[in-house]
Amino acid sequence: MKLTENDTIAAIATALSPSGIGIVRISGPEAFAVAGRVFGDEVTRFESHTVHYGFVRDPETGRTVDEVLMLVMKAPRTYTREDTVEIDCHGGVLVTKRVLEAVLAAGARLAEPGEFTRRAYINGRIDLSQAEAVAGIISAKNDLALRNSVRQLRGREREEIMRIRGEILREIAQIEATLDDPEHLSFDGFDEVVTTQTEAQLRSIRKLIETAEDGRRIREGIRTVIVGRPNVGKSSLLNALLGEDRAIVTEIAGTTRDTLTEEVRMRGITLLLVDTAGIRTTDDAVERIGVERARRAVEEADLILWVVDGSEPLSEDDCDILAACAGKPVIPLLNKSDLAAVTDETALRSMISQTVGEQGSVGEPLAVSAKTEDGLTALEERITSLFFSERIAADDECVITSERHRSALVSAEESLRKVRESIATGMPEDFYTIDLTAAYETLGTILGEEPDEDVINMIFSEFCLGK
């Protein structure tokens, strides 16, 4: 699809499922003419941003398709900055398709996925980062992801990138002006000024890059692996957190033979909960496969929920499991708090200290009962505080959720580091402009101001139809 395409497009903008309403969207220079062929010639005379009652008719047969409301919006005060018509019809799948077919027969072309938003970008209503935010809003799995995408759509990331680019551009302009007019302008003290500004820009970029890991977890969820010996209550804990019976629970040790992954929303975030086979030494060939998969799941985890049976004494297997979690954030859960305690929090702390020492990433033990659900609220609070600081909930915080944006920021950071090195080694000022320009252009790719056709095609191909 070429950026210069400017024909009139149409698509169903609502989900194709039975509902109260279905919306067919039309956008482009002939939007009113196309709508007039199915609704009536008077469409071209309607005032902008008005709603009209009537019927959609097949332009070829004249048969009535549906009773509708039509919303007419004239450019540039529309989503795409083009003339736009939205037809609100009854929400049946068949009738919505028939309305779209009538519109296509009247001269519109079926829109590509994301083509409405693409036109909003091409026509300057939004930049590329805001277009990606639209996709983020549609695909948001949790409250944090939704809030962050809304902030990005409102331009919070754009503002920060534009600010940094503006500072870099002024430095480039000053260098070029001084080189062009050395009789009236001087580089005296310029190195110190650029050094100070570059350090500030590096701090700003580094701050954004450091949010990317939080951004990934906001977007994809926290991969949370539940580990422990057989029959300590891992599957029961999974079911309790999900609020439904997804994992088979029996009194027989080793019931779980494979990993089971489920998604749950918790306090505005998403957890990808992975239930694993009990980790222990076994001669059972099938169980050994499950244990090996459990160990691989640990390696890929963002968080480990290490479940210990508080009604039984600790064993060597518990020590081995904890050692296998080295380097990962671990929340020790002393399960079966509803039963008489054989292992308490003091004993568990002692084993943790002996196994991983004081420098490990193992948190304080937490007493829970998967059966009665005691302690689960405290567990939710622990997970939230462990991964997300209060700043993420702030309305003005910019969090990078796109790997494309993170990569561009890393490249810009490297270019600015080269500027700093050029200054330190006494290179001529015109050398600075090479890396300053590289940083400026790289940051521009985030906003789409340095357009790359392949990147743009990739981004909009991931959108749904009608958006």
Instruction: Write down the pLDDT at residue 4.
Output: 46
Q: What's 82-106 look like in SS3? A: CCEEEEEEEECHHHHHHHHHHHHHC
Instruction: Write down the pLDDT at residue 248.
Output: 45
Q: Which residue has the higher pLDDT, 458 or 48?
A: 48
Residue that terminates a domain, selected from 373, 392, 411 = 392
The stretches of 359-451 forming alpha helices (DSSP H) are: 376-387, 403-424, 429-447
Instruction: Write down the pLDDT at residue 459.
Output: 76
**Under a CB-based contact definition with an 8 Å cutoff, are residues 201 and 169 in contact?**
no
Residue that terminates a domain, selected from 374, 392, 410 = 392
User: Do 434 and 382 fall into the same domain?
Assistant: no
Confirm whether 100 is domain-assigned: yes
**Under a CB-based contact definition with an 8 Å cutoff, are residues 238 and 226 in contact?**
yes
Q: What is the DSSP string of 238-278?
A: HHHHHTS--S---SSTT---S-EEEEEEETTEEEEEEE-PP
Cα separation of 246 and 172, whole Å? 60
User: Do 267 and 370 fall into the same domain?
Assistant: yes
Cα separation of 6 and 248, whole Å? 56
Q: For tokens 């395409």, name the residue.
A: 5
Confirm whether 2 is domain-assigned: no
Confirm whether 199 is domain-assigned: yes
pLDDT in tens, 47-90: 999 999 999 999 999 999 999 999 999 999 999 999 999 999 99
Note the Cα 342 to chain centre separation in Å. Answer: 44
Residue that terminates a domain, selected from 85, 101, 127 = 127
User: Do 23 and 63 fall into the same domain?
Assistant: yes
Mean pLDDT of 425-435: 85
Distances (CA, A) of 59 to 26, 40, 53, 72, 401: 16, 10, 18, 19, 46
pLDDT in tens, 198-250: 999 999 999 999 888 888 888 888 888 888 888 888 888 888 888 766 544 44
Instruction: Please report which confidence band the pLDDT of residue 280 belongs to, taking 50, 70 and 90 as the band edges.
Output: low
- Looking at the structure of the chain, the number of domains it has is 3
User: Do 206 and 222 fall into the same domain?
Assistant: no
pLDDT in tens, 374-411: 988 898 888 887 776 545 544 557 888 888 999 999 99
Instruction: Write down the pLDDT at residue 264.
Output: 84
User: Do 312 and 236 fall into the same domain?
Assistant: yes
User: Do 72 and 48 fall into the same domain?
Assistant: yes
Mean pLDDT of the chain: 84
Confirm whether 457 is domain-assigned: no
**Token pair for residue 224?**
């949370």
User: Do 40 and 93 fall into the same domain?
Assistant: yes
- Phi, psi (rounded to 5 degrees) for 354: -70, -30
**For the whole prediction, is pTM greater than 0.85?**
no
User: Do 17 and 112 fall into the same domain?
Assistant: yes
Confirm whether 106 is domain-assigned: yes
Domain that holds residue 29: 9-127
User: Do 235 and 382 fall into the same domain?
Assistant: yes
Coil, strand or helix at 55: strand
Instruction: Write down the pLDDT at residue 246.
Output: 59
Instruction: Please report which confidence band the pLDDT of residue 1 belongs to, taking 50, 70 and 90 as the band edges.
Output: very low
CATH number at residue 411: 1.20.120.430
pLDDT in tens, 316-374: 888 888 888 888 888 999 888 888 888 888 888 888 888 776 656 888 888 988 888 89
Instruction: Write down the pLDDT at residue 120.
Output: 92
Question: Is the pLDDT at 3 greater than 60, yes or no?
Answer: no
Q: For tokens 């007493």, name the residue.
A: 367
Instruction: Write down the pLDDT at residue 345.
Output: 86
Confirm whether 462 is domain-assigned: no
CATH number at residue 336: 3.40.50.300
Cα separation of 87 and 68, whole Å? 7
Residue 255's nearest CA partner among 239, 234, 227, 226 is: 234
Residue 363's nearest CA partner among 342, 387, 339 is: 387
**Under a CB-based contact definition with an 8 Å cutoff, are residues 27 and 82 in contact?**
yes
User: Do 234 and 375 fall into the same domain?
Assistant: yes
User: Do 165 and 250 fall into the same domain?
Assistant: no
